Each structure stands twice: as structure tokens, then as C-alpha cells.
Amino acid sequence: MTQKKCTRCSKIFGCGVDEGSCWCFEIKLDSIALNNIREMYTDCLCKDCLTTFETNVVNHIEE
């Protein structure tokens, strides 16, 4: 796992993207949040910072 520095808060964290498995794959982001992050930051964010952008997904069942 690669050690990275969060571009938002400067916290050091582990990134597994290069290995194909990372905790960030589990974070739910809608396209607007993802675009905002990409515009504001040049590299990865730590889990604490990334989860502040997490999308609350609600499943609607049509009757």
C-alpha cells in the first residue's frame, strides 16, 4: 500500500489504488461530488476527508 498525503488536510494515509484494491472504492460519490473533488484537489484525499463528500444513496421501490 502506498503512503500518500491528503491534499485537503495533509494527513498521511494508505492508498491501494496501484494494487487494484483500496478503501476508497467503497465510498459512494455521485457525479457532481466527484467532479467537485477533481476540480478542488490534485490527488487523493484521506478517508475522513473523502467521506465528507460521500453521497447518501437511498433505494426507492416503485409500487
pLDDT digits (tens, 9 = 90+) for 1-50: 899 999 999 999 999 988 889 999 998 888 888 898 999 999 999 999 99
CA 53 to chain centroid, in Å, comes to 7
Q: Is the pLDDT of residue 63 over 70?
A: no
Look at residue 16 in the predicted model and tell me its pLDDT: 92
d(CA 51, CA 57): 13
Please name the amino acid found at residue 43.
D
Look at residue 61 in the predicted model and tell me its pLDDT: 41
Q: Is the pLDDT of residue 62 over 80?
A: no
Look at residue 23 in the predicted model and tell me its pLDDT: 92
Q: Which three cell numbers stand for residue 52?
A: 465528507
Pairing of β 12-15 and β 2-5: antiparallel
pTM of the model: 0.74
CA angle, 11 then 1 then 46, to 5°: 25
